[in-house]
Each structure stands twice: as C-alpha cells, then as structure tokens.
Amino acid sequence: MKGCFVLILLLCVMKPVWGHSDLIMTNKYGNVEVWYQFGFNRHEERFKALIIGQLVEMLSREMDYKQPIILSFKHSYVDDIVPRYKLQCRRGSTGDTLLFNLEAKTYNATKTLQLIEYGIKNKESVFREQRDTTFETRYWGPHTETSLGRAKIDKVLNRKVSFLVNKVLANKIYRPKDDHDKISEGFMYYYQNNKYHIFYKKWDGCGRVLLELDNIYQFGQLVYPAFVLSSRCGVIFDTDSTFYVLTRDNMSKEEDARYFISKRHTVTGVKDVHEPFHLVEIGERNVIIGVRQFFKPERNLLYRAKDDYLIQNLDTFVDKFKEVDK
C-alpha cells in the first residue's frame, strides 16, 4: 500500500514465552489520514481501517470540511476489549486537526462516522471539553491521552444514526488491494450499508453477490497449485471461530459459472487464539485450516467441499486409522 511506513513495536504479553511485533502503517484519502496498528496481515481489521478511512473522507466532502482528520486504529487481537473511542481537536498555526482513536477487536464504521460527524459540527466544544486522561494499559503501563470525555462519547454513539451518515454508508467500498497480492481473479467483497457483500471478481468484471455478512474476521483467497494467479476457492471467517467456504467451477463466462456455498462451520476449542488461521488448499476444493494456541500443540482441520464436511482434528483422525492398521 502506498505511502506507508513500518514501526516495529515489541509486544510483551503476560505469558512470558510469547512475543510479537506489531506494524503501524498509513494511508491517505484527501484530507483524511489513516494510521492503523495491527499484529497480523491476515486479520481483516487492517482492511476495514482503510474502508472506514474512505467513508470518512466522503463524509467530510459531504460536510464541506477540508481541514485535516487523522484516524488512528489499534487492533486488539489479543483481548476482546470494550471498544475505546477517543476524539480530540488539536490547534496549530496552520489550523485545526481532528484526531480520532479507536482500539478494538472489531472496528465499527457507523460509530466512527457518528463521532467524526459530531467532531466536525462541534469542533469548538470538543476543544473546550477535552481533557488529559491517564489510564493503565495491560502491556504498556500508564498512558495519558487527550480526548473528549467517555460519557460524552458514549452519548454521541448512542444517538440515532443521522441521514447524512446513512447516506455515506450507502456507498460501495471495495476491499483495498494488498500490494503483495498477485491473484488476478477470485472471491472479493465490497462494504455497503453495514454489510459485506461477497462476489467473484474476474479481470473483465464482477459477478453477482453470493453471500452477505455482518462481519468478516478473516478473508482467504486460496489457489491450487500455489503458482496459479486465479483463485477458485474462498474461505471467509465471519467470527474468530465460524467460517464459510465458497468455490467456483472453471467456466469462463459468469452466466455459465456454478458456485458452491458451504454451510456455516464452527472450529471448536479455539479459546485464546490470537493468530489468524493458516489456510491452504490441497488438491481441488480441500482446505487445511491450521490453528495455533498458547501452550497447546498446533492443530490442523480438514475441510472437504464435495460433501461439505469438516474434520476438527486431522492428526486425531489419522491416528485412529493407524490403530486399526496395526
């Protein structure tokens, strides 16, 4: 992604044998600058931050607001915390800057737009009422931030969504392309009216919507063999434990294509999974799902599309047959 830089941060968690490096990257849309901190590329929140950034830029144009807006997103992939929203107005010699901050496991576009809309309309009162607040963080110790008070922010977020915010949410925002992604065809989605609309994208256009979801936790475009640039298999987690598999046959024309959409499957026993699932297509329409958890052996699941069947633990399944063969 253009205009980005990387800041390496050491994340030391309570379990002393585990460490991880977070990334901070930036993108800019008009007068809106997006900062997003994430731990893993495969979590979908990093793409959601960019989708929200585009929506905020559309909102600022609708409100004829041209001064800088900075959106800062921090992905809480270790803990499912209560979302922490902050809003600040910073005064400088060249003008005012609205600073929005969100730390959460799942980002919410509507609430972000509500708070930015309030900040644009009430910039003077935000500047007067904001205060320095010191709070304890789990990993970093005491931290001080300037923001509008939590009670006021909660009051804004609990209001009825305005006509203008709903108008902005009605725009289609396609999943941003990753510069490292070389796949030319495959399952894709756009965000519109608080829904994720999944479809198949070819070089010459987009197919019909196949699935609508309220959330996407992880989005996987799988290829087999590994060097192929068109994906016929998609694995979409709508939570950190439930997923769908979509496949497409090899027909070149969209009107002749046949799609398969699995039932909603559940990965059992995945408490304390912080790392995204490892997804690999083996053969056609068979998917290995790798699970890594603290202090537990790595577990591999096998999904088979031809009968929409999920084996929860491939190692245990194979061990049973080894016993029979003895």
Cβ neighbours for 138, distance < 8 A, ≥ 6 positions apart: 14, 79
Question: Is 234 a domain residue?
Answer: yes
Got the DSSP string for 50-92?
HHHHHHHHHHHHHTT--S-EEEEEEE--S--PPPEEEEEEEEE
Which pLDDT band, with edges at 50, 70 and 90, does 251 fall under? low
Q: Is the pLDDT of residue 53 over 90?
A: yes
Q: What is the pLDDT of residue 274?
A: 83
% of the chain with per-residue pLDDT over 70: 90
Looking at the structure of the chain, the number of domains it has is: 2
Q: d(Cα 322, Cα 298) in Å, to the nearest integer?
A: 20
Q: d(Cα 228, Cα 61) in Å, to the nearest integer?
A: 41
The more confidently predicted of residues 135 and 14 is 135
Q: What is the pLDDT of residue 16?
A: 36
* Sign of the four-CA dihedral 78, 79, 85, 89: negative
Q: What is the pLDDT of residue 3?
A: 46
User: In this structure, are 164 and 190 located in the same domain?
Assistant: no
User: In this structure, are 43 and 82 located in the same domain?
Assistant: yes
Which pLDDT band, with edges at 50, 70 and 90, does 17 fall under? very low
Q: What is the pLDDT of residue 35?
A: 96
The more confidently predicted of residues 184 and 264 is 264
Q: Is 249 helix (H, G, I), strand (E, B) or coil?
A: coil
Range of the domain at 162: 9-169
User: In this structure, are 255 and 141 located in the same domain?
Assistant: no
* Per-residue pLDDT tens digits for 148-166: 999 999 999 999 999 999 9
Are 236 and 211 spatial neighbours (Cβ–Cβ below 8 Å)? yes
Single residue among 117, 138, 169 that ends a domain in this structure: 169
Are 75 and 39 spatial neighbours (Cβ–Cβ below 8 Å)? yes
Strands 69-75 and 32-38: parallel
Within a 10 A sphere around the Cβ of 219, how many other Cβ atoms?
22
User: In this structure, are 214 and 284 located in the same domain?
Assistant: yes
Average of pLDDT values for 236-263? Answer: 91
Question: Is 176 a domain residue?
Answer: no
Per the structure block, which two tokens stand in for 217?
A: 């936790």
Q: Please provide the average confidence, as pLDDT, over all residues in the chain.
A: 88
* Per-residue pLDDT tens digits for 40-50: 888 999 999 99
User: In this structure, are 145 and 188 located in the same domain?
Assistant: no
Lowest mean pLDDT among 88-92, 113-117, 226-230: 226-230
Q: What is the pLDDT of residue 144?
A: 82
Site of tokens 């309570």: 14
Q: d(Cα 315, Cα 299) in Å, to the nearest integer?
A: 8
Are 76 and 105 spatial neighbours (Cβ–Cβ below 8 Å)? yes
Q: Is the pLDDT of residue 19 over 60?
A: no
Per the structure block, which two tokens stand in for 82?
A: 């209560």
User: In this structure, are 16 and 96 located in the same domain?
Assistant: yes
User: In this structure, are 313 and 273 located in the same domain?
Assistant: yes
Q: Is the pLDDT of residue 61 over 90?
A: yes
Within a 10 A sphere around the Cβ of 321, how many other Cβ atoms?
8
Site of tokens 């999974």: 273
Question: Is 175 a domain residue?
Answer: no
Question: Is 4 a domain residue?
Answer: no
Q: What is the pLDDT of residue 138?
A: 63
% of the chain with per-residue pLDDT over 90: 64
User: In this structure, are 19 and 160 located in the same domain?
Assistant: yes
Single residue among 138, 169, 200 that ends a domain in this structure: 169
Average of pLDDT values for 190-200? Answer: 97
Single residue among 124, 139, 169 that ends a domain in this structure: 169
Which pLDDT band, with edges at 50, 70 and 90, does 226 fall under? confident
Q: What is the pLDDT of residue 306?
A: 93
The reply to whether the predicted model has a pTM over 0.85 is yes
Site of tokens 């061990």: 319
User: In this structure, are 152 and 288 located in the same domain?
Assistant: no
Q: What is the pLDDT of residue 9?
A: 31
Question: Is 3 a domain residue?
Answer: no
- Intra-chain end-to-end CA distance of the chain, in Å: 54
Which pLDDT band, with edges at 50, 70 and 90, does 18 fall under? very low
Q: Alpha-carbon dihedral of residues 129, 132, 138, 140, nearest 10 degrees? A: 140
The more confidently predicted of residues 21 and 189 is 189
* Per-residue pLDDT tens digits for 105-144: 999 999 999 999 999 999 999 999 999 877 666 666 777 8
User: In this structure, are 186 and 165 located in the same domain?
Assistant: no
User: In this structure, are 55 and 197 located in the same domain?
Assistant: no
User: In this structure, are 134 and 231 located in the same domain?
Assistant: no
Average of pLDDT values for 258-286? Answer: 91
Q: What is the pLDDT of residue 1?
A: 47
The more confidently predicted of residues 203 and 65 is 65
